[in-house]
Every structure is written in C-alpha cells, then in structure tokens.
Chains A and B, each alone.
Chain A
Amino acid sequence: MPSFFKNRKEKKDDQDEKNSKKLPQFMGETLAGNLEIIKQRTGNSTDVVIRILNIGFQSEIKAAIVYVEGIVNDESVNDFLIESITNNRALKERMTKQNVLETIAEETIALGNVQTVNKWDELLVSLMSGETIIIIDGTNEAIIAGTKGGEKRSILEPSTELSVRGSRSSFTESIRTNTAMVRRIIKNPNLWLESIKIGKVTKTDVSIMYIKGIANDEIIEEVRKRLTSIDIDSILESGYIEQLIEDQTMTTFPTLYHTERPDMVAGNLLEGRVAIFVDGTPFVLLVPVVFIQFFQSVDDYYVRYDIATAIRFLRIFVFFISLIGPASYVAITTFHQEMIPTLLAIAIAAQREAVPFPALVEALMMEVALEILREAGIRMPRAIGSAVSIVGALVIGQAAVQASIVSPAMVIVVSITAIASFATPSFAIAISARLVRFLFMLAAATIGFYGIILGFIMLIVHLCSLRSFGVPYMSPLAPLIPVNTGDTVVRVPWWTLRQRPRLIGNKNNVREGKGQRPVPPENRGMVNNMIEKGDRDDS
C-alpha cells in the first residue's frame, strides 16, 4: 500500500561536522593561535572574557584566562584564580616554562574542581557551561577550573505541589542545587549520581540518581540506555526527556512522574525508583511509576494513617467525579430518567424546560467554557487574572442560567467536576482525566450508562496494558501483590509497611524491623519519679 506522504530524504544535519573538520581537533602550542580559535568558535561573542596575564618570575610567561561572563562565579574567578595565579610569590620562583601547567593546576588554584584538557570540543563545552579556562603560551593543554556559578533563583516553596505538612522547599533551575537538596535528605554514600550531557546544541546536563542496593539494577541500566540513545538538538525541560523515554506514547496517562519536591524524590528513591534531574528545570522525573502513585501526596506519609487513608479514598472518589461527572448527568437526563428520585427528576426537568439544547450540547458547551476559563487563568498576567474570574463567574454562573442557555443543574455539575479535578494531587493525571472526560461524555450521550461502563472497561484494559520501564502500570493492584497493597488506596500504619514495592526495587526490600508498633509503657499507673522509696509514709 502506498504511503500517504512521499518519502523525503532526511537532510543531514552536518553543520557541526563541517565546522569541526575545518578546525583542528587538538589545541595548538601558541597562545595567540589558541585564543584566535576560541574567538572564531564563539563568534567573538561579547560575553566571552579573555584576560591575558603575564606570570612567572619575571612575568615572562604569557597566559590567558577565558570565561563566559554571567555563568561563572565572579568571586571564585577573581579571588581564587586570578589572584592566586598572579600573586603567589613562592610559586613564581619555582615556575618554569616546562612545569607551568602542572604547577598552576596542582599548587596554585584554590578551587576544588580542576582538570586539564587538550581537545577543543571538551574545552569549549566546559567554557560554555561556566568553567574557566587557563591557557598558557607554549603548552598544548589547558586547565579547566570549576567556577560554575552566576545568578541562581533561591529555593522557594513549591508552587504546584503544596502540602500542609512537610518540607517547604522546592527544586530550582540549577541541577547542582537540586541534587544537593536530595543529598541533604539522604546522607548515604550509596546515593549514586551519574551525569551525561544530552542535546547536540544545548549540551544540557542530565543526571540520574538512585540508591545503589535499593534500586533495581536492570531499571537503572534501562534508564541509562534510553537516555544515552536520545539524539536531539535541545533539551529545554524534563518534559523533553519524559516524551523521549516513555514506554507507551499512545496514551493520555503519564508513565513518568514529575515533581518539584525534594522530599518526594527522596521518598521515591528510597522505594527503589530512579530520579532524572535535568538542568534548567525544577521538575525532576521519577521512574518507574504506577497509576496509584498519582493519588498519593507526601502528606499521606506525614499524617497518621487513618487520616491518610480517608483522604486517599476521597481523592479516588474525586477522580471518578472528574472523569464521569458530566457524563453521568448526560446519561441520566437523556437515558435513565428512572434512576433518579421523582422529585429530583422533576427539579431537573423544570430547569431544562426552557433550555433549547440537548443535554450533551449543554454539557459540552459548559465544559469547553470551563476549559477556556482555566486556560485563560493560567496564561493571564496576574493583574487581569481577577477580571477573567469575575467575567467567568458572572457570565457562566449567572447570565447563562438566566438566559436559559444552560440549566443551573449543569452549572453545579460542571463546577463540582472542576473542583474535583483540582483536588487530584497530580496535575499530570488530572489533565488526562480532563481529556478522557470528553470521551465519556460522548459515550454517555450515545448509549447512556451502558456507554460509560463500556468506556470504563476500555479504560481499565488500557491502564492494565501500560507499563512504565517494564513495571505494570496498575501494580500492585493488577497484578495483585498483596504485600504492597498497604500503600495504594489505603495507607496502612508505618509499622506494618515493612516492605518496599516489590516490582520496583531490588530483591532486598525489607525496610524496617519487626515490632515497630509503638506501645505504652507497661506501668499504666501514674508515674511520679519525684517520689523515692521511703518518702511515703508506709506504716
């Protein structure tokens, strides 16, 4: 069968290759030549600072310090690099043309991260990621000093995943800050971090973090494999990675979890998951994930189990409302009028009496209006955001009802659905419910509750077919792993939650000792330590 589109020959993206062919691969001996190449490669960019120094006993050695302004830490460049190279008297005496590079690298620079390179590619990548390069005349190697820095956003409260209890910090755009925040929570040498650069143009830092011994080695290997096979020009956000490494693309359900909470990442690492940090975004990816995880929030583990369980029930109930709320309204008012109490049927009938549209059109109209409002609310500048809500509330809540375009019952249904979808802790799952809701509405309008049930069956089959890095999406419910169901729809007390998720982590998955249930002291009488023997009159 012929294809719909002609097969176009893929254009080879060979700009990079040409450049590197023209230019030498290794550094030259002369300083001027090397600096010329740097200027040429960076296009004389004005933020590339080249400082020429004369060092040595008689200032006979020429050297250059190259860095990109703004992304280096000014303090370390000035105080620990330039200062120490120019003013170290003892060094000046011992320095000769032959050992200048080693001396500077090993004795002079007061910075932690120093290495030498002789390849242009490596040198330029380091330069562009905020490191400072020291080139010395007469050597074909350069010193790279770790001076990454520059302006950073400070750690703020999470803006998308709020919690009542728990840490108030959220990730920032800087990958080093982010990994450090997790390190501060898990102080263990087994917390391993691997870094790679992804993106041919952006050279974005991507790190994977896991706890050796808890995470499953096969999953780590899989993550590594999928990440290294990414071949793309740019990674601007972890969403790029998410879409490039997920198991199943034909689904609205997320198979990777993204979070901006360090405690969430720590908790998941401790369950054996792998975290993927991407530079430039506060959202960290977690793999593998299961469906029920999107209904769990960090609070669940911080508050007592009875409350956590009740809240989880509520969340799942709310998810169902946001899925089939309007669909049920449509089904009831167009197919199953016998299912509601007589007086309610009459009340709804009275409201719909003057409405000219069928229930489905009414529901679709309101749902679309709601989505518009919501979208507008996100994009609006804050100053006029309130105007949107006023217009929305007035026009949709009041005027539309008074004009008999929609019925008040529909407004109630849509509002409850909207609130319900906000109550889902994970935005990723709430937004897929928003999408699936429209399918349910169409099914309900076609064959009523029968359609809703058919839709549900299809949805469940679909969810069961999904996998996240090889782990079944619906586990530990399907396949049922009884020992892990304690942390799904319910959250059992911590002292019974002895095992980590079995399919996710390593084989060794016991995380707490037996007999952790707290008990009161055996002596249940009033304890008064102040009374000593003999104090009392025991005659």
Chain B
Amino acid sequence: MIRKWIVMLLMMIGVTLISGCWSKKELTDLALIAAFGIDLDKEGRYVGTLQIVNPSNVAGSQQPGGGGGQGTAVSVLSTTGDNLDEVSRRASTKISRRLYYAHANVIVISEKLAKKEGINSILDAFDRDPEFRNTATLVIARGTKSADICRALTIIDKIPANKIIKTLKTTENRWGENIFTNIQDVMKSLVSDGKEPVITGIQLNGDPRQAKNLENLQVSSPEAILQTNGLGVFKDGKLIDWFNGKRARGVVWILNKIKSTDVNINWREKKDAIAYEVIREKTSVSATMKNGNPRMSIHVRAEGNIGEARAPVNLTDPGVLKKIEKVLKKEIKHEIQDAVQAAQKNKADIFGFGEAVHRSAPDEWKKMKLDWNDKYFPKLKVNVKVEAFVRRTGLRNKPYSSNIGK
C-alpha cells in the first residue's frame, strides 16, 4: 500500500515538474524596451530603433555593483528588416538579452514613413504580439528620423520614453493642442469609415548628435530637447497635413478632449489682454439630415476662470463678465471653425462627423460612407454653438493696474 502511494506521489511530482519553469524569464535576462522607433531606409526597408532601459543607470545611485549614474539611462540600437518581426529578431545579434516589449510604451513613426507608406501596414505587429500593449502611445517624429527621437536623452525624466508620455499627458491636460493617442485609438479610427486618426507630432529641437550625448544633460539648458508639436492629420492611413497652434486646439475642442487650456481675448483694443482658463469643457457633436444632406452641429460648453487681466477691467460688474463671455464665445467658435475648414480642405474627417451621421441616420450613412471623405465631408454644413462661462476671477476682482494713475 505504502509503495503504491509513493509511486503515485512520484508520478504527481514528475507531472508537475515536466513542464519545468515554463516561459520563465529572469528579470536580469530581459532587455526592457521603453520605446520603439520605425523609419524607412533608402531601399524601403524598415529600420527599427530600440530604446532599451539601462536599469542600473535609472534607479537611484545606491545600487549594489551597479555604479549608478555613470552611463546613460537608455541604450539605443537600430536594425533593419523587411517587417517588424524580422527587425525585432535580428536585433538579437546586437544585444545579449531577450527583448521584452511589455513595457514599451511609446512607438515613434517617422514622418517620411507616415507620408510615404502610411501606418496601415505596420500596426499589425503591435496588435498581434501578446507582449506588446495596445495602450502604447503613438507619436510621429516630425521633421526628423524616429531614430533621432529615440536616441535623444532627456532631462528631469531619465527615460526618454517616459518623458514623451508624460509630456503628452501634461500638455493635453494643461494646454490642449495635442492629444494622447494609443495604438488602439488609432486602429479604431483607421477601421472606422466615419473617422480619420490624428496623431501628435514630436520634434527634436537641436542637433541630433548633441541630443544623444550625456553632456547634453549636464547643462542647465540642453542643446537639444524633445518637444510636442502639432497634430498630424491622416487620411487612408497616410499623413497628409499638420495642424498647428490654435487650429490644432480647434480639433481638440471638437474631439471633446480639452481638459483645461488658456484662451486669450482682446479687451478695448489691447491685444490678448484677458486670459481665460478653461477648467471644465464639454463638447457634443450631433448630426441631422436635411433634404438628404447631413448637417452637423457642435455644441461647446466651457467653464473657467479669469487667469490674467492686463487691462483695467471691472470684474465685479456682471455686465462686464457677460461681455467677456461673449468675446470668448466668438474666439472659441473661430478656432473651431478654422479647424473644420482646414479639415474639409484636406478632405479628412478627423472629427468623427461620419460616425455622428452614422448614429443619427444609419440608412443614409450606408449610401454616403464610401465617398464620405471626398464628397460629403468637404461640403458639410457645420453649425458651431459655443457657451462660455466665467465662474471665478481668481483671488482678485479688479486688476491692481486699474488703480494706477488715479
């Protein structure tokens, strides 16, 4: 009896151990990839640039045996291949560790690639790979190769990929000219008939050779710095135009992604005299059919505070606030209309108006959807209605300057 049990036990242990340490990967055998850049070389092959984290140079300086803070926080290497999987596997000739993509949070696509070949064909690799996250951020390297973006070292945030993500998030929250798009969002827009993607551009201000030097970080104002710049407008998966400044913000207004921003208005001939900080904003887009033609109406409701008043203005007077609100409405409406017109000129429905039409008139949409971007969208009548409210005026009512010279 006892022998029977022992044999049973040995068999059970054997069965358990047969699997071994299935897909075990020690942390020290992994190369954590922070960012992945894609370029096209002259023969039209992909050049993948891997930004690999150097853990001991990132974490605090007191690491055992690490000699922390000596080298760069990331090491970057590039390989070429006909597809991204080949790129990734060929990279193993240059690096001693298994590439680990689960922490790759940024994908940089070069402007050239986005314009020439488009992004339709490259996203599949990221979508299919179980390690890769669909929530990784997608950015376009504006004016440079994506390899240069990946190579650039950054201040304050040691890992450049983190800097890109955080900058995007912060600027989306505080300034509102860029949006944070991940692979999933982009793919959704790509497959949707009634929406085209927009992707934030990132550019390298300065010399790329300087940017990858550690000395670049040891000065108070680095020679080269990464900066978000503009929204890339896509059509059929290809980059066709860049929207900058207020026009870009107009897009963000319509996409209902403004969290807070700063709107300047003129006051009594003084230009940009009053700064209005948006603190809450809600945009609703709806479509109606009139005589077989779709019409869009955009309703923006913004609430905010007075952030700055450079002109003498009596903010205690409700009438004055009403006036300010009126000017604000005009200003915001102008931004939005400008963005709509620019998009219509590009024949790219980046706002998702098509989806709104689909929702309100599904039957008509079926007829329109095939040539929505080229035929219907450019001629679309868009009615913009803006409401703006001044909720608070900060710590002061009248600006101190209104007392000067009295």
Q: Which residue numbers of A lie inside 8 Å of B, CB to CB?
A: 1, 3-4, 333-335, 337-338, 342-343, 345-355, 358-359, 401-404, 407-408, 445-448
Q: Closest chain A residue to B131 by CB distance?
A: A338
Partner of A337, one of B2, B66, B100: B100
A349–B2 contact, CB under 8 A?
Answer: no
B26, B65, B100, B105: most-surrounded residue (chain A CB, <10 A): B26
- How far does the alpha carbon of A335 sit from the alpha carbon of B22 in the complex, in Å? 9
How many pairs of residues, A versus B, come closer than 8 Å at their CB atoms?
103
B56–A338 contact, CB under 8 A?
Answer: no
Q: Closest chain B residue to A443 by CB distance?
A: B16
Could you say which residues of chain B place their CB within 8 Å of the CB of A350? Answer: 55-56, 58-59, 63, 66, 68
Partner of A446, one of B22, B100, B133: B22
Q: Does B319 contact A (CB under 8 A)?
A: no
Could you say which residues of chain A place their CB within 8 Å of the CB of B27? Answer: 333-334, 337, 345, 348-349, 352, 359
A337–B30 contact, CB under 8 A?
Answer: yes
Partner of B3, one of A4, A349, A445: A4
Could you say which residues of chain B place their CB within 8 Å of the CB of A342? Answer: 32, 34, 103, 105, 159, 162
Instruction: State the Cβ distance, A372 to closest chain B Cβ, in Å.
Output: 23
Q: Closest chain B residue to A405 by CB distance?
A: B64
- How far does the alpha carbon of A352 sit from the alpha carbon of B32 in the complex, in Å? 14
Q: A353-B55, A446-B22 are in contact. List 17 more A-B contacts (CB 8 A).
A: A335-B23, A337-B32, A342-B105, A345-B32, A346-B103, A347-B55, A349-B55, A350-B56, A351-B59, A351-B64, A352-B28, A353-B28, A353-B56, A354-B63, A354-B65, A358-B26, A446-B21
Complex A-B, nearest 4 residue pairs according to Cβ-Cβ distance, in ascending order: A338-B102, A354-B65, A350-B55, A350-B59
* B371-399 residues at the A interface, CB under 8 angstroms: none
Question: What 0/1 readout, one digit per residue, does chain B (133-160) give for beta carbons within 8 Å of chain A?
Answer: 1000000000000000000000000010
Q: Closest chain A residue to B65 by CB distance?
A: A354
Could you say which residues of chain B place their CB within 8 Å of the CB of A448? Answer: 23-24
Instruction: State the Cβ distance, A108 to closest chain B Cβ, in Å.
Output: 64
Instruction: State the Cβ distance, A344 to closest chain B Cβ, in Å.
Output: 10
Given contacts A335-B23, A342-B162, contact A402 B64 (CB under 8 A): yes
Could you say which residues of chain B place their CB within 8 Å of the CB of A404? Answer: 64-65
Instruction: State the Cβ distance, A252 to closest chain B Cβ, in Å.
Output: 17
B25–A334 contact, CB under 8 A?
Answer: yes
Could you say which residues of chain A place their CB within 8 Å of the CB of B19? Answer: 446-447
Q: Closest chain B residue to A402 by CB distance?
A: B64
B17–A345 contact, CB under 8 A?
Answer: no
Q: Does B53 contact A (CB under 8 A)?
A: yes
Could you say which residues of chain B place their CB within 8 Å of the CB of A335? Answer: 23-25
Q: Closest chain B residue to A403 by CB distance?
A: B64
Could you say which residues of chain B place their CB within 8 Å of the CB of A355? Answer: 28
Could you say which residues of chain B place their CB within 8 Å of the CB of A338? Answer: 102-103, 131, 133
- How far does the alpha carbon of A342 sit from the alpha carbon of B102 in the complex, in Å? 9
Instruction: State the Cβ distance, B99 to closest chain A Cβ, in Å.
Output: 12
Question: How many residues on the B side are at the interface (Cβ–Cβ under 8 A)?
Answer: 37
B66–A445 contact, CB under 8 A?
Answer: no
- How far does the alpha carbon of A337 sit from the alpha carbon of B2 in the complex, in Å? 43
Main secondary structure of the interface of B (DSSP, over half): loop
* B318-345 residues at the A interface, CB under 8 angstroms: none
- How far does the alpha carbon of A280 sit from the alpha carbon of B105 in the complex, in Å? 66
Could you say which residues of chain A place their CB within 8 Å of the CB of B32? Answer: 337, 342, 345-346, 349
Instruction: State the Cβ distance, B153 to closest chain A Cβ, in Å.
Output: 16
B4–A1 contact, CB under 8 A?
Answer: yes
* B28-76 residues at the A interface, CB under 8 angstroms: 28, 30, 32, 34, 53, 55-56, 58-59, 63-66, 68
Could you say which residues of chain A place their CB within 8 Å of the CB of B66? Answer: 350, 353-354
A-B contact pairs, 13 of them (CB 8 A): A1-B3, A334-B21, A334-B25, A335-B24, A337-B30, A338-B102, A338-B131, A346-B159, A348-B27, A353-B63, A359-B26, A446-B17, A446-B21
- How far does the alpha carbon of A1 sit from the alpha carbon of B58 in the complex, in Å? 64
Could you say which residues of chain B place their CB within 8 Å of the CB of A353? Answer: 28, 55-56, 63, 65-66
Could you say which residues of chain B place their CB within 8 Å of the CB of A351? Answer: 59, 63-64
Q: Closest chain B residue to A406 by CB distance?
A: B64
Instruction: State the Cβ distance, B162 to closest chain A Cβ, in Å.
Output: 7
Could you say which residues of chain A place their CB within 8 Å of the CB of B53? Answer: 346, 349
- How far does the alpha carbon of A347 sit from the alpha carbon of B27 in the complex, in Å? 11
Q: Which residue numbers of B lie inside 8 Å of A, CB to CB?
A: 1-4, 16-17, 19-28, 30, 32, 34, 53, 55-56, 58-59, 63-66, 68, 100, 102-103, 105, 131, 133, 159, 162
Could you say which residues of chain A place their CB within 8 Å of the CB of B23? Answer: 335, 448
- How far does the alpha carbon of A323 sit from the alpha carbon of B32 in the complex, in Å? 30
Instruction: State the Cβ distance, A390 to closest chain B Cβ, in Å.
Output: 22
Q: Closest chain B residue to A445 by CB distance?
A: B21
Q: Closest chain B residue to A359 by CB distance?
A: B26
Could you say which residues of chain B place their CB within 8 Å of the CB of A1? Answer: 1, 3-4
Partner of A349, one of B1, B16, B30, B131: B30
Partner of A345, one of B1, B56, B103: B103
Could you say which residues of chain B place their CB within 8 Å of the CB of A401? Answer: 64
A337–B103 contact, CB under 8 A?
Answer: yes
- How far does the alpha carbon of A285 sit from the alpha carbon of B65 in the complex, in Å? 53
Could you say which residues of chain A place their CB within 8 Å of the CB of B22? Answer: 446-447
Could you say which residues of chain B place their CB within 8 Å of the CB of A408? Answer: 64
Instruction: State the Cβ distance, A318 to closest chain B Cβ, in Å.
Output: 27
Instruction: State the Cβ distance, B180 to closest chain A Cβ, in Å.
Output: 16
Could you say which residues of chain A place their CB within 8 Å of the CB of B21? Answer: 334, 445-447
Q: Closest chain A residue to B4 by CB distance?
A: A1
B26–A446 contact, CB under 8 A?
Answer: no
Could you say which residues of chain B place their CB within 8 Å of the CB of A4? Answer: 2-3
- How far does the alpha carbon of A337 sit from the alpha carbon of B30 in the complex, in Å? 9
Given contacts A337-B27, A402-B64, A447-B22, contact A346 B59 (CB under 8 A): yes
B3, B16, B34, B63: most-surrounded residue (chain A CB, <10 A): B63
Could you say which residues of chain B place their CB within 8 Å of the CB of A333? Answer: 26-27
Q: Closest chain A residue to B22 by CB distance?
A: A447
Instruction: State the Cβ distance, A38 to closest chain B Cβ, in Å.
Output: 49
A333, A349, A404: most-surrounded residue (chain B CB, <10 A): A349
Instruction: State the Cβ distance, A91 to closest chain B Cβ, in Å.
Output: 69
Instruction: State the Cβ distance, A404 to closest chain B Cβ, in Å.
Output: 4
Could you say which residues of chain A place their CB within 8 Å of the CB of B26? Answer: 333-334, 352, 358-359
- How far does the alpha carbon of A448 sit from the alpha carbon of B23 in the complex, in Å? 9
Could you say which residues of chain A place their CB within 8 Å of the CB of B24? Answer: 334-335, 445, 448
A343, A348, A350, A351: most-surrounded residue (chain B CB, <10 A): A350
Instruction: State the Cβ distance, B72 to closest chain A Cβ, in Å.
Output: 14
Q: Closest chain B residue to A342 by CB distance?
A: B103
Q: Closest chain A residue to B25 by CB distance?
A: A334
- How far does the alpha carbon of A337 sit from the alpha carbon of B68 in the complex, in Å? 22
Q: Closest chain B residue to A454 by CB distance?
A: B16
Q: Closest chain B residue to A356 by CB distance?
A: B28
Instruction: State the Cβ distance, B261 to closest chain A Cβ, in Å.
Output: 28
- How far does the alpha carbon of A535 sit from the alpha carbon of B27 in the complex, in Å? 85
Could you say which residues of chain A place their CB within 8 Å of the CB of B65? Answer: 353-354, 404
Could you say which residues of chain A place their CB within 8 Å of the CB of B58? Answer: 346-347, 350
Q: Closest chain A residue to B157 by CB distance?
A: A343
Instruction: State the Cβ distance, B66 to closest chain A Cβ, in Å.
Output: 6
Could you say which residues of chain A place their CB within 8 Å of the CB of B4? Answer: 1
Could you say which residues of chain A place their CB within 8 Å of the CB of B56? Answer: 350, 353-354
A338, A353, A402: most-surrounded residue (chain B CB, <10 A): A353
B59–A347 contact, CB under 8 A?
Answer: yes
Could you say which residues of chain A place their CB within 8 Å of the CB of B100? Answer: 337
Could you say which residues of chain A place their CB within 8 Å of the CB of B1? Answer: 1, 3
Instruction: State the Cβ distance, A130 to closest chain B Cβ, in Å.
Output: 46
Could you say which residues of chain A place their CB within 8 Å of the CB of B3? Answer: 1, 4
